[in-house]
């Protein structure tokens, strides 16, 4: 084919060679050989003014390839291997095209990189290639300095060392990363993170530094989200289409309050080559009336709709984050007597995510600690189809959190050498928020430890034993379901409180729930209305329900009426029963007094003379009460008082 001059200035800025549509099709890639040892790759566009048999180049292209008007060239089609030749990162040298256009204004390389990807999407680039780039009304001269291919293992969700390879020729998909370097002796003023190769990060990096991200303890969750949601966006749209895949449009992050859902969602937006995420709190959507609420939803998607109409597949990714999404997306029809605003908002949101005019350039992230309240239609495929639990951190995650948030203390030598971070991470489960924000971290840890030790109060019997068993088991998360915390609760409120206790326990890898004084929980009395059947059935369901996969739960119950629980079929929910007997002999009484340490050796000797070889029948709780009453007396009378109280109790 014969080299020709580019027909228009607009086509010169496309960085494409121009041909007649009878010779090639627009979007094809060709190799142009100017000599046996010189070959150059171009992407094609068509224009009717180009004579068949000719191939037109801009002035910059002719300079780069050493072409002159009328030169005969050999042109052949070229097909890219899109699993190996897609550009992951590209470094470009930049300068003003003309000296008269030089100015001192700052140029944002992040915006410049986004515009570059939009202008030259799906085009071929070679190391050393020269081109002209239009940005903010200015023309710039560019030279491609370095190209790295995308790592194909990312599609498989693999992690490890960076496997990207340097290549001489690559195809630029819509999610490539571009870094600009100022040309030597240039007066161009560059700002932004994409101004040097060292300061920028690739679009998605499996080896992302979680400490710098501030989402420590969520490595596994972040990796799973990456594999399920973003791998399809790493490669050109046609590859995804050929594989029969569709981009995931939405994800629901759910779990206990304070475990990092909002933080994780924000960091997802930062780690992608996407538009600035829009973060909105659920209740903020609701306006004075239905129309205002619908308009608020439409505004969130307006930018994505406009850009998709203008750029199509070249549109950037728009991320919309809904915090407390359950506030606006409750089950439709569930709010009796409401104005219908919630139902309308759900309908509007569904139509925007997966309506008649589908958007392929959006990612909707919803967050909630009540996934059961959300309308089921929002969770079906094509909408918020990926559901990810963000639970309490495991031991590895807790160790990460503690290391990061004690780093400054260690640096200033304010952390005692006898504090074992690994031991704390192994023994205790916390919710993350206080640790992420508290400046009194170590005090908080030990306050938590003190509160746990209080599970064995001084005036307990079975409850104390149950709590002691729970603590000795080294289960890192212990919850007590006690009737004294539910005084005045209705039956429904009591069921909800018990359900929350068990749900909290499920969030930990290894948990223990102590259900104290079961007959009191059930409102049992020996006469009249015997018990609450609603609470009984709820408790039976909770006791027999298996914990989620990978979680272990120990349940310890206490009761003074084993026969009553047997009639209610509650005993079958427990694997075993253990009888906690009263003190039965004088020897056992003396042993208890020695362990409790309330009387001195002389006093215990006097007591031993009175109770030795005698039968004694008294519970630990009653014994502690008698000791406490005796200690109120003067020292010379308290043994006599204790023995008198024993006789009065018939012990």
Highest mean pLDDT among 248-262, 493-507, 590-604: 493-507
pLDDT of 640 over the 60 cut: yes
From the list 43, 60, 89, 463, the catalytic residue is: 463
From the list 151, 326, 375, 516, the catalytic residue is: 516
CA distances from 217 to 154, 254, 344, 373, 467 (A): 22, 16, 38, 27, 29
Mean pLDDT calculated for residue range 254-279: 74
Q: What are the chain's domains? A: 2-78 (2.40.40.20), 87-191 (3.10.330.10), 210-389 (3.40.50.300), 395-428 (no CATH), 441-577 (3.40.50.300), 583-649 (1.10.8.60)
Q: What is the pLDDT of residue 63?
A: 93
Are 555 and 502 in contact, with CB atoms under 8 Å apart?
A: no
Q: pLDDT tens digits, residue range 164-182?
A: 688 999 999 887 889 999 8
Is 621 among the catalytic positions? yes
Q: Look at 601 and 444; give whichever has higher pLDDT.
A: 601
Q: pLDDT tens digits, residue range 466-480?
A: 777 777 776 767 888
CB atoms within 10 A of CB 616: 18
Highest mean pLDDT among 259-263, 519-523, 547-551: 519-523
Is 440 among the catalytic positions? no
From the list 195, 249, 330, 462, the catalytic residue is: 462
Q: What is the mean pLDDT of the chain?
A: 80
Q: What is the CA radius of gyration of the chain?
A: 36
Q: pLDDT tens digits, residue range 615-629?
A: 888 888 888 888 888
**Three-class secondary structure of residue 627 per DSSP:** helix
From the list 246, 621, 622, 641, the catalytic residue is: 621
Q: Look at 523 and 460; give whichever has higher pLDDT.
A: 523
From the list 544, 576, 613, 634, the catalytic residue is: 544
Mean pLDDT calculated for residue range 537-565: 88
Q: pLDDT tens digits, residue range 112-162?
A: 998 999 899 999 999 999 999 999 889 999 999 999 988 766 544 454 445
CA distances from 427 to 48, 430, 448, 472 (A): 75, 10, 11, 11
Is 463 among the catalytic positions? yes
Highest mean pLDDT among 9-18, 238-247, 503-512: 9-18
Structure-block tokens of residue 576: 């075993």
Among candidates 609, 203, 255, 258, which has minimal Cα distance to 437? Answer: 258
CB atoms within 10 A of CB 518: 22
Highest mean pLDDT among 403-412, 433-442, 605-614: 605-614
- The pair phi, psi for residue 641, each rounded to 5°, is -65, -40
Are 236 and 86 in contact, with CB atoms under 8 Å apart?
A: yes
Is 544 among the catalytic positions? yes
Q: Look at 229 and 352; give whichever has higher pLDDT.
A: 352
Structure-block tokens of residue 485: 């915390």
Structure-block tokens of residue 145: 């300095």
- Whole-model pTM over 0.85: no
pLDDT of 84 over the 90 cut: no
From the list 23, 323, 394, 517, the catalytic residue is: 517
Q: What is the pLDDT of residue 44?
A: 96
Q: What is the pLDDT of residue 341?
A: 67
Q: What is the pLDDT of residue 276?
A: 77
Q: What is the pLDDT of residue 449?
A: 38
* Segments of 227-272 assigned E as strands: 250-254
Least confident of 238-242, 251-255, 356-360, 465-469: 238-242
Is 278 among the catalytic positions? no
């Amino acid at each position: 084919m014969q080299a020709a001059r580019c027909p228009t200035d607009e086509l010169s800025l496309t960085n494409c060679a121009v041909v007649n549509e009878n010779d090639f099709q627009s979007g094809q890639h060709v190799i142009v050989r100017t000599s046996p040892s010189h070959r150059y790759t171009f992407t094609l566009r068509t224009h009717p003014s180009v004579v068949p048999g000719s191939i037109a180049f801009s002035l910059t292209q002719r300079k780069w390839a050493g072409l002159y008007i009328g030169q005969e060239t050999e042109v052949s089609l070229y097909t890219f291997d899109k699993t190996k030749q897609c550009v992951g990162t590209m470094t470009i040298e930049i300068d003003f095209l003309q000296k008269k256009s030089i100015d001192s204004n700052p140029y944002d390389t992040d915006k410049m990189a986004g515009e570059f990807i939009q202008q030259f999407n799906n085009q071929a680039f070679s190391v050393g290639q020269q081109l002209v780039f239009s940005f903010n009304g200015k023309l710039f001269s560019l030279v491609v300095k370095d190209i790295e291919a995308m790592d194909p293992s990312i599609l498989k969700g693999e992690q490890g060392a960076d496997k990207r390879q340097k290549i001489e020729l690559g195809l630029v998909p819509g999610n490539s990363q571009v870094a600009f370097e100022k040309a030597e002796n240039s007066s161009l003023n560059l700002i932004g993170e994409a101004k040097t190769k060292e300061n920028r990060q690739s679009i998605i990096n499996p080896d992302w530094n979680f400490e710098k991200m501030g989402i420590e303890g969520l490595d596994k969750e972040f990796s799973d989200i990456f594999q399920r949601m973003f791998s399809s966006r790493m490669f050109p749209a046609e590859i995804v289409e050929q594989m029969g895949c569709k981009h995931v449009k939405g994800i629901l992050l759910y779990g206990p309050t304070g475990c990092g859902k909002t933080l994780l969602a924000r960091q997802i937006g930062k780690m992608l080559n996407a538009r600035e995420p829009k973060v909105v709190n659920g209740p903020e959507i609701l306006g004075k009336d239905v129309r205002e609420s619908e308009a608020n939803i439409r505004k969130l998607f307006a930018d994505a709709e406009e850009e998709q109409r203008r750029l199509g597949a070249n549109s950037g990714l728009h991320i919309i984050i809904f915090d407390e999404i359950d506030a606006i997306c409750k089950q439709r029809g569930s709010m009796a007597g409401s104005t219908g605003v919630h139902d309308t908002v759900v309908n509007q949101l569904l139509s925007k995510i997966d309506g008649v005019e589908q958007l392929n350039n959006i990612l909707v992230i919803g967050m909630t600690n009540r996934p059961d309240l959300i309308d089921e239609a929002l969770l079906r495929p094509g909408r918020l189809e990926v559901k990810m639990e963000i639970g309490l951190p495991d031991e590895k995650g807790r160790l990460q959190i503690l290391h990061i948030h004690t780093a400054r203390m260690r640096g200033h030598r304010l952390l005692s050498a006898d504090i074992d971070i690994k031991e704390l991470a192994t023994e205790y489960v916390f919710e993350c928020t206080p640790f992420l924000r508290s400046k009194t971290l170590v005090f908080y840890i030990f306050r938590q430890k003190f509160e746990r030790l209080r599970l064995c109060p001084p005036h307990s019997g079975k409850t104390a034993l149950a709590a002691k068993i729970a603590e000795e088991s080294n289960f890192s998360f212990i919850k007590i379901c006690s009737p004294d915390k539910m005084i005045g609760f209705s039956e429904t409120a009591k069921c909800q409180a018990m359900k929350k206790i068990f749900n909290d326990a499920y969030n930990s890898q290894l948990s223990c729930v102590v259900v104290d004084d079961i007959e009191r929980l059930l409102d049992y009395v020996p006469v009249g209305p015997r018990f609450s059947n609603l609470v009984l059935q709820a408790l039976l369901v909770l006791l027999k329900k298996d914990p989620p996969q990978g979680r272990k739960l120990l349940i310890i119950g206490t009761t003074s009426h084993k026969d009553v629980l047997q009639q209610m079929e509650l005993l079958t929910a427990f694997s075993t029963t253990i009888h906690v007997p009263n003190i039965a002999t004088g020897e056992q009484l003396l042993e208890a007094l020695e362990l409790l340490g309330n009387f001195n050796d002389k006093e215990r000797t006097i007591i031993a003379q009175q109770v030795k070889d005698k039968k004694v029948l008294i519970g630990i709780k009653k014994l502690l009460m008698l000791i406490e009453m005796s200690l109120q007396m003067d020292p010379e009378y308290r043994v006599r008082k204790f023995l008198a109280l024993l006789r009065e109790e018939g012990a």
